A and B are shown apart, each in its own frame.
Chain A
Amino acid sequence: MTETKQNSKSMLQRFMPLIIFVLLVVLLGVGLTLNPRLIPSPLIGKPVPVFELPLLNKEGVFSSEDFKGQITLLNVWASWCYACRQEHEVVKRLARSGLNVIGFNYKDKKEDAQLWLKQLGNPYQLVMADEDGRAAMDWGVYGAPETFLIDQQGIIRHKVIGPVSDQQNYDELMAAIKKISGSNL
């Protein structure tokens, strides 16, 4: 009895280095396959940054306070951004589904942005223009496209880095929307 116990113990000891090695390989393997461009935003769970930006297509401004009252999808895009073109159909679909989708034109020329919307269609309720990218800095934007999900209280609940047309991004966004809206979307 005790002998078999000792045996199994020494077996475990003997294989421990192998087990540790395998665990290490798995850990490093996962680390290597992660996309280093996906940087978790420290803004999630926090109120939207304070800002005020001019609108692209008409007179007026959009400010942080304007998020209150409804669930909003803030889509950061630019005419120079190829992936924005790719995700645009999905953004349109999201807007058609009844979601309040607002555009955030990032470091773009006004004419280029307007032409882009004319060609590809404008699904946005409003588009604000951040020509120098200073407001985007407060949002922690470091590229386009990026998409923020903002709840009725003006709290950032989710951030998509890269195109929302990517299946995984899309599923995660949908799950996040479901979570804050109860289920009616």
Chain B
Amino acid sequence: MKTLFAIALLVLSAGVLAAPMDSFEFESKAQEKIFHKLSEELRCLVCQNQAIAESNADLAKDLRTEIHTMLLAGKTEEQIKEFMVNRYGDYVLYDPPFKPMTWLLWIGPVGILLIGLFYARNFVFQQNSSEAPGELSADELERLQNLQAEFNLAERSVDKENDNMKKEKRL
């Protein structure tokens, strides 16, 4: 029980250790909420794959300070985002806007899925059609008749041979 408790404590404290501690003061709860939302949504440029909220990098710290200053100066969430995009590009956003530059990013996965579905459908369709063949052409009909005739002939000769064998056995 004691060990379990210790492990639980250790696991819980991991999150506390990972998040950098800033002591920012806000004028209102709403401001603080926007601050946390923005620092989660903006990418740290130096560290990659980390939001500026969770990074200890110097630049991330500066950007957090900048967001804080702008919020206190009465800037809105949109204005702050625009400020970041104007300097660092769409890359800084974890949720990039839909525009020609990012079309491939947005449509690509859906497009690939559609192509896959198209081929899957064709594949299934082809299998079905091979089970139920359509009309035969005149050529094919003739070949079929020839084959049947040959088969009948062969069958007859086999029958004859069988008959002969039976006769021989009896003898």
Query: Could you tell me which A residues sit within 8 Å of B by CB distance?
Result: 16-17, 20, 24, 36-37, 39-43, 107, 132-134, 137-140, 142-143
Contact = CB atoms under 8 A, between A and B. Distances in A.
Given A17-B119, A39-B45, A142-B46, A137 B91 contact: no
Contact of A20 (B89, B90, B115): B115
B85 A42 contact: yes
Instruction: Give chain B's interface residue range (CB within 8 Å of chain A).
Output: 10 to 19
A42 B87 contact: yes
19 contacts: A16-B119, A24-B112, A36-B48, A40-B89, A42-B86, A42-B87, A43-B87, A132-B62, A133-B58, A133-B59, A133-B62, A137-B62, A137-B63, A139-B87, A142-B45, A142-B46, A142-B59, A142-B88, A143-B46
A141 to B, nearest CB: 9
Contacts of A142: 45-46, 59, 88
B142 interface: no
B114 to A, nearest CB: 12
Nearest to A20: B115
B87 A137 contact: yes
B66 interface: yes
A46 to B, nearest CB: 9
In the A-B complex, list the 7 residue pairs whose CB atoms are closest, starting with the nearest: A142-B45, A140-B87, A42-B89, A39-B91, A140-B88, A133-B62, A142-B59
Given A17-B119, A24-B112, A107-B58, A37 B48 contact: yes
Interface string B49-89: 00000000011001100100000000000000000011111
Contacts of A133: 58-59, 62
Nearest to B87: A140
A107 B58 CA distance: 10
